[in-house]
């Protein structure tokens, strides 16, 4: 009897999965809504009657019902990189030249795909079942939104066939325009404000606490990239086609292009045709199609070298510039801001836009009361790009740039060769003080949960903190009396601050907010000096000898290290127990065996993955380069090394070693 019931349940699940796939992926209706609901209700009743046959991938698990109060933060197993952007065909030609130079070949094939305007998502599958769904976040960590993602019918909970045992697939959660418009019609009908744009609404939907509410929204998911330790296919296109066959919604607008000219044809076609799409898109993504070539090209600190986004020309509107005001950054940099008459731009209402610096204002001759042209750079950040001089008032006067800090009235300075003006009152300007603390607690730095920008300003205004070291003196009883605070919130802040003492040295170094020391530079400095003390006693000349550290960064570090206030801050952080040197575990895996040696890694390897090889080079003091030059010390060559790379290496008489030779070298 039980075996018969299990067969009925299994059959119903398979039928419903296929109907979901037909409708939401293939756009092919094979059953009426009524008949579908009858089968779903029957399955639900059987699953309730026989709970021993529960299955997390059952179609009944899509209906929602799970409440998520707090979304767990998950570290991505594989970082979600952003893409470099291009805005002209010249940019794409330059990109292709870099690729051909790095690969040592002109025979490069590309795939072209539409760039979808939604919320990025990373789906993890194991043995054909959906395990988790995590937002992009900062690329390193994101939020677990699995319960909400399960309500999206185009995302398979169980694959239709064999694909890969364990993998991630990435894509975009979108809100089709018809569904978005219908949602707004319903909101307006009941007297509520309409949603601003589909992208933000899709993104916000993923963080709703009640998955039942998410299920009511017509969200869709378009997938475009598979990540796994080993992909048994030759090309990106073949991988996506295999993924399509097992149930993933891979967009049809993907094309293999044999040349950059064919890429331009694809761009030109979709620049017009995109307006007929059922969802928003803002550009084209071009990728090197061959997976071995992708692997060889690798990544920069922020983006893959093997992919680039071509952004369509930004939408532009005109409006009146009512007033120019000035903002102070955490480093004291002054940014002029255009306060505009509200204007709709790329789906959002824009009221403010950056004017960059005094030179830009003078170059464009921007004045208050001008009618100006505004666009979104990369369709993200609004900026003023020109002036309609035909509408300029007759009594208009040229803009006189600010001479004093808007926050502390200190006389501004501008060093020779610097585009920006600065407030030199580093330790007395309120915005600089709170800005440095806000940078210190930020996600990419100390990542202190419970603390936000507004709370930092409140703590400063109440006289509880004047610098980031003061955070470690805060007590719960000091925080509870503050506005909008409760005992739980205060406890979370104190716990978050305590937990930050475990943050690794390179992140602490970035958090200190030394001018020009970003994430990448902080990692290089941490790896080179291994402790804050060694870095702070380094001379200007010694600093400039560190890989990729130029005069400007070196001078900034010297200035920071010689300031008594900063020395005292570092001493306090040390006493509080922050990580001001590389961990013993990290240092135990480091050697100087390859110090001063530059390696180029090329080909397919068997004992180590390419990333493991590169890490081994860096862990042993060497440097990895993407292209061959006279400075190259060794080529580590695997199978299928590019013939032109081999020829260039031989012509420069650079030693070519095998994977085994390299392993012997470091052991």
Give the separation between CA 297 and CA 301, rounded to whole angstroms.
13
Q: Report how far apart, in Å, the C-alpha atoms of 169 and of each of 24, 56, 251, 326, 600 are.
A: 18, 19, 14, 44, 29
Report which of 166, 154, 80, 172 is spatially closest to residue 129, judged by C-alpha positions. Answer: 166
Give the separation between CA 306 and CA 294, rounded to whole angstroms.
6
The yes-or-no answer on residue 615 being catalytic is no
Residues 6+ positions from 409 with CB-CB distance below 8 Å: none
Give the separation between CA 116 and CA 249, rounded to whole angstroms.
13
* Strand order from edge to edge, sheet including 656-657: 623-625, 598-602, 634-637, 656-657
- For 619, phi then psi, to 5°, come to -65, -25
Question: Which of 115, 507, 645, 648 is an active site residue?
Answer: 115
Q: Report how far apart, in Å, the C-alpha atoms of 408 and of each of 401, 427, 437, 480 are.
A: 17, 11, 18, 30
| Token output for 648 | 């260039």
What CA dihedral angle connects 21, 22, 25 and 29, to 10 degrees? -140
Residues 6+ positions from 26 with CB-CB distance below 8 Å: none
DSSP-H helix ranges across 274-418: 291-297, 358-364
- For 301, phi then psi, to 5°, come to -65, -25
In the chain, how many H helices and how many E strands?
25, 20
Residues 6+ positions from 667 with CB-CB distance below 8 Å: none
Q: What angle do CA 524, 527, 531 make, to 5 degrees?
A: 115
Using only C-alpha atoms, the chain has a radius of gyration, in whole angstroms, of 28
Tokens 């005069």 belong to which residue? 551
| Token output for 564 | 């008594």
| Token output for 309 | 């986004």
Give the separation between CA 517 and CA 395, rounded to whole angstroms.
45
**Active site amino acids:** 115
């Amino acid at each position: 009897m039980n075996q018969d019931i299990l067969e009925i349940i299994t059959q119903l699940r398979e039928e419903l999965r296929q109907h979901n796939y037909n409708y939401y992926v293939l756009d092919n209706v094979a059953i009426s809504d009524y008949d579908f609901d009858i089968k779903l209700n029957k399955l639900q009743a059987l699953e309730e009657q026989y709970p021993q046959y529960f299955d997390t991938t059952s179609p009944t698990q899509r209906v929602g019902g799970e409440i998520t109060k707090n979304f767990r933060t998950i570290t991505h197993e594989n970082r979600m990189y952003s893409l470099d952007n291009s805005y002209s065909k010249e940019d794409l030609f330059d990109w292709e030249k870099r690729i051909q130079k790095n690969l040592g070949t002109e025979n490069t094939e590309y795939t072209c795909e539409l760039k979808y305007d939604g919320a990025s998502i990373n789906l993890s599958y194991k043995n054909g079942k959906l395990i988790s769904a995590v937002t992009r976040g900062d690329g390193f960590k994101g939020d677990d939104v699995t319960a909400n993602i399960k309500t999206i019918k185009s995302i398979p909970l169980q694959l239709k066939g064999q694909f890969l045992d364990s993998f991630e697939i990435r894509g975009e959660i979108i809100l089709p325009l018809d569904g978005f418009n219908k949602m707004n019609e319903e909101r307006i009908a009941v007297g509520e404000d309409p949603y601003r744009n589909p992208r933000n609404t899709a993104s916000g939907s993923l963080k709703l606490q009640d998955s039942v509410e998410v299920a009511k929204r017509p969200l869709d998911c378009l997938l475009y990239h598979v990540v796994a330790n080993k992909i048994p296919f030759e090309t990106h296109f073949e991988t996506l086609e295999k993924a399509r066959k097992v149930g993933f919604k891979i967009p049809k607008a993907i094309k293999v292009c044999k040349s950059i000219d064919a890429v331009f044809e694809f761009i030109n076609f979709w620049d017009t045709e995109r307006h007929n799409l059922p969802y928003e898109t803002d550009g084209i993504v071009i990728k090197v199609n061959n997976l071995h070539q992708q692997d060889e090209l690798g990544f920069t600190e922020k983006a893959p070298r093997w992919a680039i986004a071509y952004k369509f020309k930004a939408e532009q509107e005109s409006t009146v510039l009512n007033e120019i005001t000035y903002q102070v950054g955490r480093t004291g940099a002054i940014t002029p801001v255009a306060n505009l008459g509200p204007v709709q731009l790329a789906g959002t209402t824009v009221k403010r836009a950056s004017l960059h610096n005094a030179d830009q204002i003078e170059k464009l001759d921007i004045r208050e009361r001008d009618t100006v042209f505004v666009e979104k750079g990369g369709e993200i950040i609004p900026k003023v790009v020109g002036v309609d001089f035909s509408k300029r008032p007759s009594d208009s006067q040229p803009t006189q740039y600010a001479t004093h800090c808007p926050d502390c009235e200190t006389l501004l300075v501008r060093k020779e060769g610097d585009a920006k003006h600065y407030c030199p009152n580093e330790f007395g300007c309120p915005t600089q003080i709170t800005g440095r603390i806000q940078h210190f607690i930020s996600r990419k730095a100390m990542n202190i949960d419970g603390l936000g920008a507004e709370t930092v300003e409140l703590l400063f205004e109440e006289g509880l903190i004047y610098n980031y070291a003061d955070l470690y003196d805060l007590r719960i009883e000091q925080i509870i009396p503050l506005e909008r605070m409760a005992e739980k919130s205060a406890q979370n802040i104190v716990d978050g601050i305590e937990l930050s003492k475990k943050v690794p040295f390179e992140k602490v170094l970035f958090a200190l907010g030394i001018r020009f020391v970003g994430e990448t530079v902080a990692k290089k400095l941490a790896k080179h000096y291994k402790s804050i003390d060694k870095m702070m006693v380094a001379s200007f000349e010694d600093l400039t000898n560190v890989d990729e550290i130029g005069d400007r960064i070196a001078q900034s570090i010297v200035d920071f290290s010689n300031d008594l206030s900063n020395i005292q801050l570092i001493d306090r952080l040390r006493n509080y127990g922050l990580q001001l040197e590389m961990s013993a575990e990290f240092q135990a895996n480091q050697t100087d065996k390859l110090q001063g040696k530059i390696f180029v890694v090329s080909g397919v390897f068997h004992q180590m993955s390419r990333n493991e090889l590169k890490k081994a080079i860096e862990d042993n003091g060497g440097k990895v380069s993407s292209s061959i030059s006279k400075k190259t010390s060794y080529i580590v060559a695997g199978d299928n090394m590019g013939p032109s790379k081999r020829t260039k290496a031989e012509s420069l008489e650079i030693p070519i070693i095998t994977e085994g030779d390299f392993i012997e070298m470091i052991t």
